[in-house]
């Protein structure tokens, strides 16, 4: 099956953003990370900052939105939280994007949202703690919180958010087509591997 879409899920500090960006540039296709947040903001009316925060730590306690997305029917006994509203909007935005164009989408449970499509290459990028710490400090600098604690907190938030909305564990090889360790392999090998896997399934002369 030809691949048209690449979804990239990633650990904080693993370089998933820059790997995704380089892949999109090499393939000459769209790249959606910040641009996705702008689209979701336009769809929901929430600020971009709020979307970034709420989407990494859902306080929603119910399965309301999951039911909307999966069953396409409203359950009027439950009220959606803002995080649910955002997830619903991002599901819509991501599904429309995938329908419209070949692109790279970073994060936001895009692998799960597009799980019924056969034309997605779902990639997970991870790395060891030392390598992630180096990358985080270089990109965001130091804060009062020790780097190890920042990594653990962010991992916990992403894990909770992902499993809340997808009902499956985060970072398990079985959820993806391809998982790459950017720390041991290096970012360039990761980019090359994704690009050649995508090209081998897809006539790039669109």
Q: Is residue 179 within 8 Å of residue 126, measured between CB atoms?
A: yes
Shortest Cβ 50–a copy of itself spacing (Å): 30
- Give 78 or 192: the residue with its C-beta nearer to a copy of itself: 192
**Identity of the residue, 34 or 168, whose beta carbon is nearer to a copy of itself in the bound complex:** 168
Given the complex with a copy of itself, which of 46 and 161 has the nearer CB atom?
161
Query: Considering the complex, what minimum distance in angstroms separates the CB of residue 15 from a copy of itself?
Result: 14
Secondary structure (3-state) at 13:
coil
Closest separation between CB of residue 47 and a copy of itself, Å? 33
Contact criterion met (CB below 8 Å) for 126 and 9: no
Instruction: Specify the residue, 160 or 197, whose C-beta has the smaller distance to a copy of itself.
Output: 197
Give the SS3 label for residue 82: helix
Backbone phi, psi, residue 179, to 5°: -120, 135
CA 147 to CA 132: how far, in whole Å?
9
Contact status, residue 7 vs residue 176, Cβ threshold 8 Å: no
Interface ranges with a copy of itself (CB under 8 A)? 11, 124, 126, 128, 171-174, 176-181, 184-185, 189, 192-193, 196-197, 200-201
Reported residue count of the chain is 206
Query: Cβ closer to a copy of itself: 85 or 102?
Result: 102
CB 109 to a copy of itself: min, Å = 16
| Shortest Å distance, C-beta 1 to a copy of itself | 8
Which three-class secondary structure state does DSSP give residue 125? strand
Distance between CA atoms of residues 159 and 145, nearest Å? 20
């Amino acid at each position: 099956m030809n691949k048209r879409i690449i979804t990239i899920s990633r650990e904080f500090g693993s370089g998933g953003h820059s790997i995704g960006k380089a892949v999109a540039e090499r393939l000459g296709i769209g790249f959606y990370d910040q641009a996705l947040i702008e689209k979701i903001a336009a769809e929901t009316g929430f600020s971009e900052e709020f979307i970034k925060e709420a989407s990494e730590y859902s306080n929603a306690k119910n399965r309301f939105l999951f039911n909307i997305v999966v069953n396409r029917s409203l359950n009027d006994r439950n009220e959606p939280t803002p995080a649910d509203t955002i997830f619903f909007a991002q599901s819509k935005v991501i599904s429309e994007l995938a329908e419209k164009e070949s692109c790279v989408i970073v994060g936001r449970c895009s692998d799960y949202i597009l799980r019924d499509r056969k034309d997605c290459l779902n990639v997970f990028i991870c790395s060891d703690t030392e390598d992630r710490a180096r990358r985080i400090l270089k990109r965001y600098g130091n804060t009062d919180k020790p780097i190890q604690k920042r990594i653990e907190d962010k991992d916990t938030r992403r894990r909770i958010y992902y499993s809340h909305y997808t009902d499956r564990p985060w970072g398990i090889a079985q959820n993806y087509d391809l998982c790459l360790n950017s720390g041991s392999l290096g970012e360039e090998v990761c980019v090359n591997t994704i690009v050649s896997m995508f090209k081998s399934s897809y006539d790039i002369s669109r």
